Structure 1
Amino acid sequence: MDHHRKTIIAALRRAGLGLADDRFELRPLDGGVSSDVWEVTVGDQRYCIKSALAQLKTTAEWSAPIGRSKAEWNWLRWVGTRFPDFVPRCHFFDPAGPALVMEYLPPDRYPNWKRELFAGRISNGFSKMLGARLAEIHAASACDENIAKAFSNNADFGALRIEPYFRYTAMREPGVAARLNALADEQALARIALVHGDVSPKNILCGPAGPVFIDAECANYGDPAFDLAFCLHHLFIKALVIPGAKPALLDAATSLSRAYFAKVDWEDAAAIANRAAALVPALMLARVSGKSPVEYVDRDLGQTVRGAALALLAAPLADIHPIGQFLAGYSHEPG
């Protein structure tokens, strides 16, 4: 029995979800770069169990505190208590792992949004619902000192987002280093609302009742504009690199952001739009020059993304919607 299986079975036993070793069936799932994730069958029940990695699966050295599992557990439980349809049901947190035992959501009923986008199934209705749900989470947590104290995960957020996406990219892109470091400083100090930290299409499931958020390892009380920008920058990158999909993806980004801003009531919508617009090109650049490069972008397409990001950093826009308009007409000239 290998180490992973022993660890998972021990966590399941502590959760009271099985008595005999031969009752467990384990199947590895795609956990991205930061975790090991398994589908576990115990009798006639299925669960998802997730364990954070201290060293992430990236080419560049990238380590992060495994205590982030507790932050994810707390985020899922906090959101699930208020918005049950927004997240998987939580069963057990095992600090010894650390490991999370959650509801297993079968892909035939909960397809992954990233896969849907690449398959050309791009729904503005789904994008609108996602934007609205994200804003509802931010609105419910904004300007709340108790939540701020409960989710003061600055070290985790710094290791998982600020250092690899901003500081590391600044070292590799000296022409915009001052701008990236200034954004990093702003994000490190922001204390506005509860942030998921990884609102990526791969971490959104298309459930029967709407979008379901997973993978909240980067949860922190910070800037809600980060969540919005993080989701939008993925749509913008895909618009640049997926043949024929640009109009639909840019429309989806517009639908998502408009639905989000329609529910912003904790601060001036123009202020959060301005911060998100500043973050988007920095995040786009990070996905080709940072520690977590986008796996579906080759060198040539990476230069397209880099060129667009640098152009937007050189002439910052004050709102999200003009970014989509800029990208709609953007084409990269080789060399």
Structure 2
Amino acid sequence: MVDPEFAAVLQKMGLVTPGTLLIMQPLTGGVASDIVLVEAPGRRFCVKRALARLKVAAVWEAPISRNAAEAAWLRRASGWVPGAAPAILGEDVASGTFAMDYLPAETHPVWKEQLLAGKVNPAFAGAVGRSLATIHGQSAADPSVPAAFANDDTFEAIRIEPYLRATARAHTDLSDALERLALRTLSTKRALVHGDVSPKNILCGPDGPVFLDAECAWFGDPAFDVAFCLNHLLLKGAREGGNKTDLACAFDAFLAAYFAWVDWEDGAELESRAAALLPALFLARVDGKSPVEYLQTDREKERVRTFARPLVASPLPRLSQISDLWRTTE
């Protein structure tokens, strides 16, 4: 089925001509955008259009201008780490739409699917940490980045409010601690943040990780990206039967690779901010606006709450301390 709006935008971008035979197939994987695989004579590519209201149970709205920020992040990341993001083929800022290369699952499996299937590769986790640190470091040294990604309002709408502030409303005794985290995160300006470094947004490419879905792109605190990614390695161990040991090895590999490349600020300070954010994000993925779908039982969710709540109230200074503590938690 061909969406006439998508077809019109593709013509506007110059990717197809009127009358071109098109096949369009909706793709899954996110709540914030419509994503379509387009097949035209001799080529295949993806088209992504931002939604003003996200596809979750709670009311969650965000400006479609984030689509332009995502395209800009993908371009910058590819320049700093070749192959770290798909190539942008065309863009229509007015409709919040861009087109990019399609990377098939046969050659670029999704990291989340690999992890949930028990295929945990610490070396790949290390490659993710190394690529992310390179992007952070290059952006911190680029004087054009702060103004180009001054997206505080968008980051507030699609990260701070639905994760930290929504969780504060569910855990009122932790509201002061969560609000302090929110304010510190928003006020820390160090590097270009992806904002959604989740395994569902990382492809296992033949030459290394490929990052997708940078809708939250923002010049701010790189500790958010670190905590956001490591959080998912903890969460997958919260499932019944989850392999905490292998996931902890991936956690440690990411950690070592990332901090080996931190030279734009004091590494211990960055780690301390990430260590404070991590348990808050852990708790947010069961009680915020975007709970993970693979924690379904009350026992799994309570396991997260029991572990995270004390660490939100009294943060540990080191990420390795959180990992070590989580390994021994029943």
2:117 is equivalent to residue 113 of structure 1:
no
Residues 1-335 of structure 1 mapped to structure 2, 5 A cutoff: 5-21=3-19, 23-142=21-140, 144-298=142-296, 299-331=298-330
Q: Which runs of 5+ in 2 are unaligned?
A: none
Once the two structures are superposed, residues 253-311 of structure 1 have per-residue CA deviations (whole angstroms, 9 ceiling, x without a partner) of 11001100000001111111111000000001111111011111113211111111113
**Structure 1 residue 81, shift from structure 2 partner:** 2.1
Q: Is the alpha carbon distance of 1:189 and 1:308 closer, same or farther for their aligned partners in structure 2, counting shifts above 3 Å? A: same
Q: Deviations over 1:164-218 (max 9, x none)?
A: 1111111111111100000000111111100000000000000010000000000
Q: In structure 2, what residue type is equivalent to 1:26? A: M
3-state SS of 1:86 partner: coil
The AA in structure 2 aligned to 1:310 is R
| CA root-mean-square deviation | 1.3
Q: Measure, in 1, the Cα distance between the counterparts of 2:154 and 2:18.
A: 36
Mapped contact 2:29–2:200 kept (Cα < 8 A): no
Q: Distance in 1 between matches of 2:203 and 2:19?
A: 31
Partner secondary structure for residue 95 of structure 2: coil
Amino acid in the other structure paired with 2:89? H
- How many residues are paired up? 329
Where 1:23 maps in the other structure, the secondary structure is coil
Contact 1:17 1:42 in 2 (8 A): no
Matched-pair contact (CA < 8 Å) for 1:225–1:276: yes
Output the TM-score relative to the length of structure 1: 0.96
Q: Aligned-pair distance for 1:96?
A: 3.0
Distance in 2 between residues matched to 1:143 and 1:83, nearest whole Å: 15
- Using the TM superposition, give the Cα deviation of residue 13 of structure 1 relative to its aligned residue in structure 2, in angstroms: 0.8
> TM-score, normalised on structure 2?
0.97
* In structure 1, C-alpha distance between the alignment counterparts of 2:143 and 2:177, rounded to whole Å: 30
8 A Cα contact 1:148 1:221, kept in partner? yes
More deviation in 11-20 or 111-120?
11-20
Once the two structures are overlaid, the 10-residue window that deviates more, 82-91 or 128-137, is 82-91
Distance 1:210 1:22, change over 3 A: same
Residue identity (%)? 46
Q: Structure 2 vs 1, CA of residues 193 and 42 (structure 1 numbering), >3 Å: closer, same or farther?
A: same
Per-residue deviation at 1:21?
4.2
Which structure 1 segments of 5+ residues have no match?
A: none
Relative to structure 1, the CA distance from residue 46 to residue 78 in structure 2 (aligned partners, 3 Å threshold; closer, same or farther) is same
